[in-house]
Structure 1
Amino acid sequence: MHFYDGHFGGMHLIWWIIWIILLAWIFFIPTDIPYQKTTKESPLDILKKRFSKGEISKEEFEESKKILNSDN
């Protein structure tokens, strides 16, 4: 039985397509991993990051921090 005489050439292509689809599904489809711990940032952490990036001024930071601390 000759596998490369034209009878099974298409099957080789089909397996490549199946592997490419499988790898794309594994790596590119975003899904949540079960039992994965997700840490949510607190509003104060977000505020600190914005201040460190320079998105807000010191006055805005202090005012927002005061508002956040008064809620607790």
Structure 2
Amino acid sequence: MHDFNFFGGGWMMIFWWFLIIALIVIVVRALMGSTKQNANTPAETPMDILKRRYANGEIDKEEFEKRKKDLIS
């Protein structure tokens, strides 16, 4: 009845299944890889944020020292 000649026979069917599974694996790895990169980046500490804000001129020295003292204690 069916001899798998529609797409080139049984080998072609195996090729299509392999292709579908490979695409699924590639997509899953890409998604997992992007989350791993985000997980490996060190989180910015409150002191780092305070130093960055002072360096960018968002706060003055008085405000920096006050907040630094609050963070340390």
TM-score (norm 1): 0.54
CA contact under 8 A between 1:44 and 1:65: conserved in structure 2? Answer: no
Amino acid at match of 1:23: I
Which of residues 43, 47, 66 in structure 2 aligns to 1:44?
A: 47
CA 1:12–1:65 in structure 2 vs 1: closer, same or farther (change >3 Å)? farther
Structure having greater relative contact order (Cα 8 Å, sep ≥ 6)? 1
Identity percentage of aligned residues:
24
Instruction: Write the deviation string for residues 9-67 of structure 1: whole angstroms up to 9, x where unpaired.
Output: 122111112112112212213259xxx87744321111212333x3614x2x5414412
Q: Which runs of 5+ in 2 are unaligned?
A: 1-6
| Structure 1 residues without counterparts, runs of 5 or longer | none
TM-score by length of 2: 0.54
Aligned to 2:63: 63
Q: Kindly report the root-mean-square deviation, in angstroms, between the aligned alpha carbons of the 2 structures.
A: 3.3
